Structure formats: structure tokens, C-alpha cells
Structure 1
Amino acid sequence: MKVIAAYLLAVLGGNACPSAGDIKKILSSVGAEADDDRIELLLSQVEGKDITELIAAGREKLASVPSGGGAVAVAAPAGGAASAAPAAEEKKEEKKVEEKEESDDDMGFSLFD
């Protein structure tokens, strides 16, 4: 990631086609070690390509990747049905507490009376 970040910083700085030396210079300025193999791999993969097109293609690929949310509910353990009942009871209790707090906040008068 640090090699990619250094490459993107060089492009952002106005260098449309950073070299291995440019990337090494950026990495050394922050005290990071430069891995020559990774730098050469990155440069060979982005050679002759527009960075904005690469980023746009990457965004399209990331849009199709599931990113959590409902996956937790699907992966419930075998005893999930037994644990669902206490969770429902907790929700009911929370609703009762919230209703009670709302009535306490009202204090019997309205701001516009």
C-alpha cells in the first residue's frame, strides 16, 4: 500500500509518470523502506495507463463487493433461535424505557402554549 500511496502522491504532485526513483524519494522522506520488487511490479502494471481510468475501474469493482451488514445475521450459530428470544425481550424493555423517558422530557407543558 505504501508504494501505491507514494505513486499516487507523485501523480497528485504533478508528475504524470513517476519513476522508481520518484517513489523511493517519497518513501524515504517519511522514513519508509522502499521494496524494489513491489515498485517495479506497480510500475509495470500502470505503465501506459491513465490513473483516473484505473481509479474509476477500481471503484466499479469495489461496488460489487459485499461490505457487511446482513452477513452477520445469516451466519448465526446453531443455537441462534434460543438466543433470539432474549434479544426480543431486551428490545421490548428498551422501548418501554424510551417511552418513559420521552414522557419525562415533556414535563407537562409545551413550548408554544
Structure 2
Amino acid sequence: MKYIAAYLLASLGGNDSPSAADVEKILNAVGSEVDSTCTAKVIESLNGQSVEALIEAGQEKFASVPTGAAAPAAGAAPAAGDAPAAAAEEEEESSDGSMGFGLFD
């Protein structure tokens, strides 16, 4: 991920086609270890492609991914009166000094 981020930074800096040296220079500037194999893979994958087009294609792919953020079914949420009872019950359990080991009973 850091290689892609460095590539994007180089691109944002005005370099339409960053080289491996450009990416590695950015990573070295922030003290990150550099693996030339990873750098080469990123350059090979992104070389000649528009960063804007890649981002747009990625956004389209993310739009089709389900997020799992569906609203809970009616009645699934606990009633407002249940919360204090649950908190009091939890407090009772956590105040046990023996923590279940029977050392201080």
C-alpha cells in the first residue's frame, strides 16, 4: 500500500509517469524500508495509466461492494428501560474482587 501511496504522491507532484526511483525516493524520504521487487510490481501495474482513471475505476468497484450497514429490524434494539438494568448487572459482576478465582471470598 505504501508503494501505491508514494506513486500517487509523485503523480500529484506533477509527474505523470513516476519511475521506480521516484517512488523509492519518496519512501526513503520518510524513513520507510524499500523492497525493489514491490516497487517494480507497482510501476509495472500502473505504468502508462492515468491515475484519475484508476481512481474512477476503483470507485465504481467499491460502489458494488455491500457494506453490511443495513438498519436493524424493528424491535431489535433493546428498550430504553433495559439499558440501566444491564449496566447495573455488569457493574455487580465487575466488582467481584476475586475475579472468579475464590482467593478473596
TM-score (norm 1): 0.63
Which residue of 1 is the match for residue 31 of structure 2? 31
> SS of the residue aligned with 1:8?
helix
Matches within 5 A, 1:1-113: 1-70=1-70, 87=78, 90-91=79-80, 93=81
Instruction: List gaps (5 residues or longer) in structure 1.
Output: 75-83, 95-113
Q: Tell me, which stretches of 5 or more residues in structure 2 are unaligned?
A: 83-105
Distance in 2 (CA, whole Å) between partners of 1:12 and 1:64 is 27
Provide the rounded CA distance (Å) in 2 between the counterparts of 1:65 and 1:13.
Answer: 31
Quote how far apart the aligned CAs of 1:69 are: 1.1
Instruction: Name the SS of the counterpart of 1:61 in structure 2.
Output: helix
Shift of 1:56: 0.4
How far residue 36 of structure 1 moved from its aligned partner, in angstroms, is 1.1
- State the distance in 2 between where 1:65 and 1:50 align: 23
Mapped to 2, the partners of 1:48 and 1:6 lie a distance apart of 16
Tell me the distance in 2 between the aligned counterparts of 1:9 and 1:48: 16
Moved >6 Å (runs of 4+): none
Superimposed CA distance per residue, residues 56-76 of structure 1 (whole angstroms, 9 cap, x where no aligned partner): 0000001111123129x59xx
Of Structure 1 and Structure 2, the greater helix share is in 1
Q: Provide the TM-score with structure 2 as the length reference.
A: 0.67
Higher RCO structure (Cα 8 Å, ≥6 apart): 2
Identity across matched positions, percent:
47
Distance 2:37 2:5 in 1: 16
For residues 47 and 32 of structure 2, the distance between their equivalents in structure 1, rounded to whole angstroms, comes to 24
Shift of 1:34: 1.1
The separation in 2 between residues aligned to 1:2 and 1:56, in whole angstroms, is: 20
